[in-house]
Amino acid sequence: MSRYLANTPSAVSSRPSSSLPTAIAINKQQQQQQQQHRIHGAGALGAPSSHRGGRWPCRPDGLLLRLRAGSPVILLERAAAAGGNSIKASSGINGAPTIYQTGPTPDTFFYQDTIRSAGARMRSAEGPQREALISQLTNRSAAAIDFLVDDIGVDLSVVSLMGGHSVARTHRGSGKNPPGWSIVKTMLDSLKHDVRFQLRTEHEVTRLLTSHKDKGGAATVTGVEISHQGETSRLDGPVVFTTGGFAGDADGLLARYRPDLAGCPTTNSPRPGMHNLLTAVGAELVDMESVQIHPTGFVDPTSPNDGGKFLAAEMLRGEGGILLYKGKRFVNEMGTREHVSDTIMRLPLDREPIETGGSAGPRQWDIQLLLDPGAFSRTTSNVNFYLGKGLMAKKKVKDLDETTRETLGEYSAVVAGQRADGFGRTAFGHWRLKWGDDVDEAEVYVGRVTPVVHFTMGGAVIDEKSQVMASKLGAPDPKPVAGLWAAGEITGGIHGDNRLGGSSLLECVVYGLIAGEEASKHGRTLAAADRASPDGHAEWTDL
């Protein structure tokens, strides 16, 4: 998933009329000396960061309070198009309590569910700081949903239960587009009409620029150096990093921190992590070994050895889908991603990595994902997309093998309350297949899935204000990297050992908005200092 201030800078050809620094979103740009607010990365994090410029919550108009204050914002994107991995997010965004939740009482369990999912790391010495980050995430989740719905105009009216959640709180729209794509596109559409906002694609941030270091050795970030079409330039101003994680950096950071995952397929686009740019200015990293394996990525029957997989959204199971190994269920499909993935990976491999055409095939398992007509009725747009891609097939029950048919009969009895589930599943979504004389003609939807590298919980240490820290998480004397903020998957410490489904988009919005607000405050301080300075800008040093 993407984050707010990213590492792809861009240059602006003319000086903005405002004297306030612009936010720089990492993207491509030309040479300029003006100060701007830079956001590196144009996914779900970059866009909210661009929107945020003042108090919480903030109602957006153009670039919200940041633009209302007269400060231009530059969103830098290293790719040819904005969106990153965020546009692939298909299950939804968490929020509680919201008007879309239909439970008998308000949902007050989001914090506890997140703490439980984070696992053993919550019991470490830095546990209190992790709790503070999680509290910020969950307490502001309802406001994040309100912001997206009321201010940006995103449809989030459908709510599903996902693995590891005690109640349904994962929001998505009722239309055909995945929620990640809808959020990013709607935000960018709302920004592009403001003349003070610039999205610069194919701009690579190559380093962070700094002024003098303080006595503790920490640098103050004053801007970015960027590369575009072989030319180097720089932009001045506060920086927000929202470049995402390293799940697609198979030969780089992933190989360094989790060599045991070599050969596993991934849902991420192949690209290097940008964490080295942060550590070069003194940023601390945390939880880099915590990599989330999502239990269900589709194996394309036409190209099973491809290392890149389409995600089989978790809400397919939340709405009633089941997992089968050789025709039998083997796990509570609504367990945490960590639990379901670990259970699958203890089963025999379909095959070890093999050489095909000169490149190694992936490590993968032969697991079947099956949805009945009830689950399909709640996931129609998703399943139709998968059917069109050839990732799922529609079959009649009579055409299934005998073991699978027996399993469906047993499971239907569980859903009907005739027996307890041997794997502990108690929420069955919208499964409605009943076993009877007419079941043979019922249609089900089946696809092959395998565990995939999906998300990296580790990254830069931040505080509750999204400030990048030069001290370890939970340090008694925390030291920030001045002028630098981060949000989204580039950061660490929020999710611990396991991220709850639906919380990646949420952290992008919550911490992205905070980062934009804090960078805006910093920008106003810089503007005041510039007006009082004889030469009008801070001194620059190379790293």
pLDDT in tens, 204-232: 999 999 987 666 656 799 999 999 999 99
390-443 pLDDT, tens digit per residue, is: 999 999 999 999 999 999 999 999 999 999 999 999 999 999 999 887 899 999
State the DSSP H helix or E strand holding residue 322, giving kind and residue range, or none if neither.
strand 322-324
Domain match, 246 and 318 both? no
368-394 pLDDT, tens digit per residue, is: 999 999 999 999 999 999 999 999 999
Across 105-119, 184-198, 284-298, least confident range = 184-198
CA gap 509, 387 in Å, rounded:
31
Q: How confident is the model at residue 12 (pLDDT cuts 50, 70, 90)?
A: very low
Catalytically annotated residue among 203, 275, 317, 454: 317
Q: How confident is the model at residue 535 (pLDDT cuts 50, 70, 90)?
A: low
User: Which range of residues forms the domain containing residue 402?
Assistant: 293-453
Average pLDDT over residues 83-107: 93
CA gap 408, 436 in Å, rounded:
11
- Going by C-beta distance under 8 Å and a sequence separation of 6 or more, which residues neighbour residue 378? 160, 319, 320, 429, 430
Q: Indicate if the pLDDT at residue 491 is higher than 60.
A: yes
Domain match, 266 and 321 both? no
Domain match, 519 and 462 both? yes
Average pLDDT over residues 517-534: 79
Split into its structural domains, the chain has a count of 2
Across 87-96, 256-265, 346-355, 431-440, least confident range = 346-355
User: Does 107 reside within a domain?
Assistant: no
CA gap 199, 9 in Å, rounded:
10
The three-class DSSP label of residue 47 is: helix
The residue among 453, 487, 511 that closes a domain is: 453
- Locate 304 and state its tokens: 């099973």
Domain match, 542 and 500 both? yes
The three-class DSSP label of residue 235 is: strand
Give the CATH number, domain containing residue 469.
Answer: 3.50.50.60
Top-confidence residue, 56 or 69: 69
Whole-number pLDDT of residue 216: 60
pLDDT averaged over every residue in the chain: 85
First to last CA, the chain: 29
The percent of residues in the chain predicted with pLDDT above 70, rounded, is: 82
Average pLDDT over residues 16-40: 41
Beta bridge mates, 266: 308, 453
Domain match, 79 and 194 both? yes
Domain match, 191 and 273 both? yes
User: Does 160 reside within a domain?
Assistant: no
Q: How confident is the model at residue 40 (pLDDT cuts 50, 70, 90)?
A: low
Domain match, 184 and 41 both? yes
User: Does 150 reside within a domain?
Assistant: no
Most distant CA pair in the chain, distance: 88
Catalytically annotated residue among 66, 207, 294, 337: 294
Q: Indicate if the pLDDT at residue 42 is higher than 60.
A: no
Domain match, 429 and 332 both? yes
Q: How confident is the model at residue 245 (pLDDT cuts 50, 70, 90)?
A: very high
- Locate 473 and state its tokens: 């998480």
Of 461, 417, 468, 429, whose CA–CA distance to 126 is shortest?
Answer: 461
156-180 pLDDT, tens digit per residue, is: 999 999 999 999 999 999 998 999 9
Task: Residue 265: count other Cβ atoms within 10 Å of its Cβ.
Answer: 24
* Residue 144 main-chain phi, psi, to 5 deg: -65, -40
Contact call for residues 196 and 72 (beta carbons, < 8 A): yes
Q: How confident is the model at residue 51 (pLDDT cuts 50, 70, 90)?
A: low
User: Does 124 reside within a domain?
Assistant: no
What's 259's DSSP letter? G
The residue among 429, 453, 477 that closes a domain is: 453
Top-confidence residue, 69 or 150: 150
The three-class DSSP label of residue 185 is: helix
Domain match, 222 and 323 both? no
Whole-number pLDDT of residue 193: 85
The DSSP bridge pattern shows strands 197-201 and 158-160 to be unpaired
The three-class DSSP label of residue 356 is: strand
Q: How confident is the model at residue 61 (pLDDT cuts 50, 70, 90)?
A: very low
Domain match, 385 and 530 both? no
**495 carries an active-site annotation:** no
Give the best-scoring range by mean pLDDT among 13-22, 82-91, 523-532, 534-543. Answer: 82-91
Whole-number pLDDT of residue 217: 59
Domain match, 284 and 297 both? no
- Going by C-beta distance under 8 Å and a sequence separation of 6 or more, which residues neighbour residue 369? 296, 312, 316, 317, 321, 322, 323, 324, 392, 446, 447, 448, 449
Q: How confident is the model at residue 192 (pLDDT cuts 50, 70, 90)?
A: confident
User: Does 168 reside within a domain?
Assistant: no
Of 220, 350, 277, whose CA–CA distance to 76 is shortest?
Answer: 277
Q: Indicate if the pLDDT at residue 84 is higher than 60.
A: yes
Whole-number pLDDT of residue 292: 96
In three state form, how does the secondary structure of 462-499 look?
ECCCCEEECCCCCCCCCCEEEEEEECHHHEECCCCCCC
Average pLDDT over residues 351-355: 56
Average pLDDT over residues 302-319: 95
Angle at 536 between CA 479 and CA 25, to 5 degrees: 55
- Locate 406 and state its tokens: 């027996």
The three-class DSSP label of residue 88 is: helix
Domain match, 271 and 393 both? no
Q: Indicate if the pLDDT at residue 237 is higher than 60.
A: yes
Whole-number pLDDT of residue 39: 60
Contact call for residues 489 and 84 (beta carbons, < 8 A): no
Cα 390 to Cα 22, 299, 300, 304, 400, distances in angstroms: 46, 10, 7, 12, 18
What Rg value do the Cα atoms of the chain yield, rounded? Answer: 24
User: Does 503 reside within a domain?
Assistant: yes
Give the CATH number, domain containing residue 314.
Answer: 3.90.700.10
User: Does 49 reside within a domain?
Assistant: yes
* Residue 42 main-chain phi, psi, to 5 deg: -120, 45
Whole-number pLDDT of residue 25: 42
Whole-number pLDDT of residue 280: 95
CA gap 82, 4 in Å, rounded:
12
CA 383 to mean position of chain CA atoms? 22
State the DSSP H helix or E strand holding residue 145, giving kind and residue range, or none if neither.
helix 141-146
The residue among 453, 470, 498 that closes a domain is: 453
Across 11-15, 16-20, 477-481, 490-494, least confident range = 11-15
Q: How confident is the model at residue 107 (pLDDT cuts 50, 70, 90)?
A: very high
Q: Indicate if the pLDDT at residue 340 is higher than 90.
A: yes
CA gap 440, 434 in Å, rounded:
11
User: Does 42 reside within a domain?
Assistant: yes
Give DSSP secondary structure letters for 401-451: -HHHHHHHHHHHHHHTTSS--TT-----TT-----STTGGG-EEEEEEEEE
455-477 pLDDT, tens digit per residue, is: 999 999 999 999 999 999 999 99
Contacts 24+ apart (CB under 8 A), 472-475: 472/126, 472/284, 472/286, 473/126, 473/129, 473/130, 473/284, 473/286, 474/124, 474/125, 474/126, 474/127, 474/128, 474/129, 474/130
**378 carries an active-site annotation:** no
Cα 211 to Cα 5, 113, 219, 394, distances in angstroms: 19, 42, 7, 61
Q: Indicate if the pLDDT at residue 11 is higher than 80.
A: no
- Going by C-beta distance under 8 Å and a sequence separation of 6 or more, which residues neighbour residue 457? 287, 290, 291, 292, 492, 494, 495, 496, 497, 498, 499
